[in-house]
A and B are shown apart, each in its own frame.
Chain A
Amino acid sequence: MADRQHKAGAPEAAPTDARWIRIHPLTVRITHWINALAILMMVTSGWRIYNASPIWDFEIPSGITLGGWLGGALQWHFAAMWLLAVNGLIYLLYGIFSGHFRRKLWPVTPRAVLHDVFEALRGKLAHQDLSMYNAAQKAAYLGLIVAIIVLVLSGLAIWKPVQLQALTALFGGYDFARIVHFAAMSLVVLIVLVHVVMVALVPKTFPTMITGRARRTT
């Protein structure tokens, strides 16, 4: 707080004036944090399940996994999946029907994404107006939504290869669905890591996902 008030050149102002704008709706904030918790539980318990029969020549260090043993990890995974699914559905329905997706994540063109990613790597990407996402953000958030949907669907294909056998066939059969599930998990973890690093680099974005407000820039 002190930082903000003593910023060079910034005029002194009481925090109650019209200089605050609402940038994250309440539904988005709540579903964001529930999703963060659900993804954390799903990924760390999933790692433990992976270790019971690794697809590749490596295991995930058990210290960063959840569940203690295969049975415990499965319990966590199949409990947290409901949190992920129900919360995710609420978020998707809200995003589609409130116009939130259209307003904040659309349009996004490959050219704009490449341009903004390049600018970001040069450290020149502006974050002046937190109510607007740049193209790199739009691509990351849309990519995360798609990756989580693929993750959930490939998970269902592994869980129910008989009852949902058409879905399993769509993912190339049981064994290939496991590979898709792992790949989608890796993509989700990668996007989340970049997201967390970006928040650390632009820390003023962090409280906005709790309060929903950001200071209007002049």
Chain B
Amino acid sequence: MSDKPGGRRILTNGLVRLRDLASPKQIERVERRLFLKQGLSLGALAMLTGCDVTDNAAVDKVLSAMSRWNDRVQGGLFSQARLAPEYPESAITKPFPFNAYYGIDEVRVVDGGSFKLELSGLIRDKKPWTLPELYALPQASQITRHICVEGWSAIGQWSGVPFRDFLARIGADTTAKYVGFKCADDYYSSIDMETALHPQTLLALRYGNDILPPKYGFPMKLRVPTKLGFKNPKHIMAMFVTNTYTGGYWEDQGYNWFSGS
């Protein structure tokens, strides 16, 4: 958009105006028209400055506010009684895709022997957990669809400790708002307590029949089949229960925080 046509139009209008100077009635009409046209040009100018809408603080503010609104709507839509569909073993995607904010050659390898899951925040028993202790707890298994924020999906099989059982065992304050996670690959995320207590939310320790391999998040991954893939943190080293919003690696860059499926 250039300002040339607008300028030419105003010039033309000016000439018309000069020509019609003799008739006062004409002037009135022409001036009204001129006012309207200049008004339109002003509107066009406003739109022109607004063209770069993706790089505007006010626009960002509106979009963030809408994302918070969508968090609330999704929280309202969520039900612990509604289960993610489960699939037969034949539906499992092979190989299950690797996905992270880095390439597969940069996968962190955590030493399982010295590993201890750290607990903090609104939790009664903050004793750290070793892997053998976690493997000894009652386990559950699921074959569910992992849906990536990018749009692709894949079906996988995870086993581990139902997360709500684990929260009960450690005496987590389940009236708190959030459960947060810190990971060995500097990833971090947080979920709402409603989802943390969903029957299919799993502290996954195995993929298929194997101990969770590093590429899928050894020593443990939170499997949340009611949320998008990036809300399923891998390589979990520490978790905490809090009423303070702590966001997440992608959430802080603009992905919707709730991201429910």
B107 to chain A, nearest CB (A): 21
- Asked whether, in the complex, the Cβ of A163 is within 8 Å of the Cβ of B79, the reply is yes
- Asked whether, in the complex, the Cβ of A70 is within 8 Å of the Cβ of B149, the reply is yes
Interface residues on A, range: 20 to 34
- Asked whether, in the complex, the Cβ of A161 is within 8 Å of the Cβ of B147, the reply is yes
- Asked whether, in the complex, the Cβ of A79 is within 8 Å of the Cβ of B153, the reply is no
Q: Does B54 contact A (CB under 8 A)?
A: yes
- Neighbouring B residues of A72 by C-beta, 8 Å: 54, 63, 254
- Neighbouring B residues of A71 by C-beta, 8 Å: 250, 253-255
B257 to chain A, nearest CB (A): 12
- Asked whether, in the complex, the Cβ of B151 is within 8 Å of the Cβ of A82, the reply is no
Q: Does B133 contact A (CB under 8 A)?
A: no
- Asked whether, in the complex, the Cβ of A52 is within 8 Å of the Cβ of B82, the reply is no
- Neighbouring A residues of B84 by C-beta, 8 Å: 162
Between A and B, how many residue pairs show CB distances below 8 Å?
73
Determine which residue in B62, B64, B85, B250 has the highest number of CB atoms from chain A within 10 A of its CB, and name it.
B85
Closest to B253 in A: A71
Chain B positions 138-185 with a Cβ under 8 Å from a chain A Cβ: 145, 147-153
- Neighbouring A residues of B66 by C-beta, 8 Å: 75, 78-79, 82
Q: A75-B254, A78-B256 are in contact. List 17 more A-B contacts (CB 8 A).
A: A50-B151, A53-B148, A53-B151, A55-B151, A66-B53, A70-B150, A71-B253, A71-B255, A72-B63, A74-B255, A75-B63, A75-B256, A79-B67, A160-B261, A162-B261, A163-B77, A163-B78
Q: List 17 A-B contacts (CB under 8 A).
A: A68-B54, A70-B150, A74-B254, A74-B256, A75-B66, A78-B70, A79-B67, A160-B77, A160-B261, A161-B145, A161-B147, A161-B261, A162-B83, A163-B260, A165-B82, A174-B145, A174-B147
- Asked whether, in the complex, the Cβ of B225 is within 8 Å of the Cβ of A162, the reply is yes
| Residues A163 and B255 in contact in the complex (CB < 8 Å), given A53-B151, A75-B63, A174-B153 | no
- Asked whether, in the complex, the Cβ of B260 is within 8 Å of the Cβ of A79, the reply is no
User: Which applies to chain A's interface (DSSP): helix, strand, loop or mixed?
Assistant: helix
- Neighbouring B residues of A68 by C-beta, 8 Å: 54-55
- Asked whether, in the complex, the Cβ of A74 is within 8 Å of the Cβ of B77, the reply is no
Contact of A162 among B64, B149, B226, B250 (CB under 8 A): B226
B145 to chain A, nearest CB (A): 7
B51 to chain A, nearest CB (A): 12
- Neighbouring B residues of A67 by C-beta, 8 Å: 54
Q: Does A84 contact B (CB under 8 A)?
A: no
Chain B positions 73-102 with a Cβ under 8 Å from a chain A Cβ: 77-79, 82-85
B101 to chain A, nearest CB (A): 12
Chain B positions 225-258 with a Cβ under 8 Å from a chain A Cβ: 225-226, 250, 253-256
B interface footprint on A50-70 (CB within 8 Å = 1, 0 otherwise): 101101000000000011101
9 closest Cβ contacts across the A-B interface?
Answer: A71-B254, A79-B66, A53-B151, A52-B150, A53-B150, A75-B63, A162-B261, A68-B54, A53-B152
For the complex, give the distance between the alpha carbons of A53 and B229 in Å.
Answer: 14
